[in-house]
Every structure is written in C-alpha cells, then in structure tokens.
C-alpha cells in the first residue's frame, strides 16, 4: 500500500508525499536496503503521478468495482503506447539518417562515375533518345533531367556489379523492414520446411526456380544482378548444374584452386617467399 509505505495518510498533499519520500530515502540509503528502496520508489511513483493517484484513490474508495480493472488496463496500455511511440520515433530518426546516407552515397557514386567517358556517353545517348528537345529546355529542367538519367545509369551499374549502394525504396527503410520482419520470418520458416520435405525427405527433382536459386547462391549472384544477365549468360551458369552435390564439390574445388593460384601469383605471396629465404618473418595477412 503506497500510503502505508511512505507513512502518509490517504489525503496527503504532494508536498507531504515528497517530504516523506526523501526522508525515507535517506534512511534507506544509509542502511543499504535495496528492496525497501524499490518499494518506496514504486509507492512514490504511484502517488506522485496524477493519473495513477487518481486510479489508486478510486480503488481505495471502491475496491470491488469493475472499473478498477479498466483503469489498470488503461494504465498498462498507456505505458505500452509510450514505449511504441518512442520506438517509432527512434525508427523514424533512423529512417531519416538512412535516407540522408543513401542520398550522399548515390551522389558520391555519380560523381565518381561522371569522370568515366563511357558513363558520360551513355548519359548523353539516353538524354538524346528520351528527350529530343533537350537543348530547348531551360537550365533547371536540363539539370533535373541530367540528374535523373545519371541516377538511372548508376542504378544499372550498381545492379550489374552487385553493389550495395542503390536508390532507397520504401521497402528498404529500417522501420518498414522491422514492421514486416515477423511476416518475413514466418515465410522463411515455411519455405525452409517445404524445402526440407520436398528435397531432403521426398527426394524430388529440383524445379527451374530452385535450380536458379542454388546456382545464384553458389555463384554469389543477387537476384537483381541475375535479372540483368542475358539468356545466354544464364544458360552458361545453369550448365554448371550446381544443384547436384558432385558438381557442387567440383565447383568448390575449382574456387579453392583459383584462390590458391591467385595467392601464388600475388605480390604479397612472392614477398613472403623472399622474406622466408632471407630468414625474416612475414605475415601474409598483414
């Protein structure tokens, strides 16, 4: 009972409650009684807050009333609402930061690409094909069109090179991803269960879609990049038949061998050999 814990009567004013609270707190701190301190703080928080004090006063007056349960639930919902609002605010701030960062990264990529002659040529070709009367436009419109075309070309380059920097979409926002996370997790679990049943238990043949998925996984190709490939390139990748275990092992061996050859031919490795011959230590990973 908050009034009893703080040693005040039920009609005590806010000043009396505060005075009693600080007096008791000093005593408790001297005795280092943490449990008692928690009870005092909890009682104080109930009585000092207008809404909780109101609910508590009502409870004392009508202890068997159904409204007590309503008030309690309202208070819980209020607390939850506050937490949700704070989380949403944090999410929105993160989204703003994400948007600004994405804009900056895109500008950086465009500036870097604009030094490339092929990039400039591609932009000019697209402008001339999409906007025949470009030369007659005013400066602002010209600049806007140029920026749009540059962004389009950069997006294609990013997609082909499988880079992370791309135009921020609504689905890419952190807050949207968090909202849809339970749904995505559910679909992921269901998808995995279906995969295990279909291919591990029933031993069915892989369908075309799953063959592409396995190929992309082993070749480290994103879906966006896969979509930019021409049919011949896709066909060449699928010829590897990476959905078969034997082919997977062969492919992994090829990668290991390729990495080994790259390592041998690298300047670092050659330096390591020279240092070893001289009897000096050299860490290849440095």
Residues 121 and 193 in one domain: no
Domain endpoint, select from 134, 168, 202:
168
Q: Pick the last residue of a domain from 145, 168, 191.
A: 168
The sign one gets for the Cα dihedral 55, 58, 60, 63 is negative
Same domain, yes or no, for 191 and 238?
Answer: yes
- Which domain-ending residue is among 102, 137, 168? 168
Instruction: Give 198's DSSP letter.
Output: I
Domain-embedded: residue 270:
yes
Q: Taking the chain, what is the end-to-end CA distance rounded to the nearest angstrom?
A: 66
For residues 155 and 167, what is the distance between their CA atoms, to the nearest angstrom? 7
Tell me the two tokens of residue 52.
């909780």
Q: How far apart are CA 224 and CA 160, in angstroms?
A: 8
- Give the range of the structural domain holding residue 40, as residue numbers without chain letter: 1-61
C-alpha span between 286 and 276 (Å, rounded): 15
Number of helices (H), then strands (E), in the chain: 14, 0
Question: Does residue 100 form part of some domain?
Answer: yes
Tell me the CA distances in angstroms from 139 to 135, 142, 146, one per residue in order.
Answer: 9, 5, 10
Tell me how many domains the chain contains: 4
Q: 95 and 133 in one domain?
A: yes
The reply to whether 72 falls in a domain is no
Q: How far apart are CA 237 and CA 240, in angstroms?
A: 6
Query: What are the pLDDT digits (tens) for 239-267?
Result: 888 888 888 888 888 888 887 777 777 77
The pTM score is: 0.44
Query: Are residues 95 and 152 located together in one domain of the fold?
Result: yes
**How wide is the angle at C-alpha 213 spanned by C-alphas 208 and 219, nearest 5°?**
125
Q: For position 13, what pLDDT does the model report?
A: 77
Query: Is residue 54 situated within a structural domain?
Result: yes
d(CA 216, CA 208) in angstroms, rounded, equals: 12
Q: Which residues of the chain have pLDDT under 70?
A: 1-3, 51, 54-76, 156-172, 268-269, 278-286
- The answer as to whether 79 is a domain residue is no
C-alpha 15/C-alpha 125 separation (Å) is 77
Name the residue among 46, 42, 48, 39 with its Cα closest to residue 19: 48
For residue range 202-244, what is the model confidence (pLDDT) as tens digits? 888 888 888 888 888 888 877 777 877 788 888 888 888 888 8
Could you tell me if 98 and 164 lie in one domain?
Answer: yes
In a shared domain, residues 158 and 91: yes
Same domain, 248 and 215: yes
- Statement to judge: residues 53 and 113 lie in one domain: no
In a domain, 122, yes or no: yes
Determine which helix (DSSP H) or strand (DSSP E) holds 113, and give its type and residue range. Answer: helix 67-113
> Is residue 73 included in any domain, yes or no?
no
């Amino acid at each position: 009972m908050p009034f009893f814990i703080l040693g005040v009567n039920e009609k005590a004013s806010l000043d009396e409650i505060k005075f009693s609270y600080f007096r008791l707190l000093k005593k408790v701190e001297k005795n280092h009684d943490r449990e008692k301190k928690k009870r005092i703080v909890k009682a104080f928080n109930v009585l000092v807050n207008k809404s909780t004090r109101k609910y508590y006063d009502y409870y004392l007056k009508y202890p068997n009333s159904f409204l007590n349960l309503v008030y309690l639930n309202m208070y819980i919902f209020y607390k939850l609402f506050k937490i949700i609002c704070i989380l949403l605010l944090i999410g929105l701030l993160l989204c703003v930061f994400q948007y600004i960062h994405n804009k900056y990264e895109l500008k950086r990529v465009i500036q870097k690409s604009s030094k490339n002659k092929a990039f400039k040529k591609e932009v000019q070709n697209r402008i001339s094909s999409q906007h025949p009367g470009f030369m007659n436009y005013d400066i602002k419109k010209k600049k806007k069109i140029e920026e749009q075309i540059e962004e389009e070309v950069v997006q294609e380059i990013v997609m082909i090179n499988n880079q992370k920097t791309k135009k921020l979409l609504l689905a890419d926002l952190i807050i949207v991803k968090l909202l849809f996370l339970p749904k995505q997790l559910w679909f992921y679990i269901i998808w995995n269960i279906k995969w295990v049943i279909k291919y591990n238990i029933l031993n069915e043949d892989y369908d075309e879609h799953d063959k592409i998925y396995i190929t992309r996984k082993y070749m480290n190709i994103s879906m966006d990049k896969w979509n930019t490939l021409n049919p011949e390139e896709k066909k060449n990748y699928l010829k590897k038949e990476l959905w078969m275990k034997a082919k997977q092992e062969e492919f992994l061996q090829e990668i290991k061998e390729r990495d080994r050859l790259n390592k041998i031919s690298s300047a670092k490795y050659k330096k390591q050999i020279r240092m070893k011959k001289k009897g000096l230590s050299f860490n290849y990973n440095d």
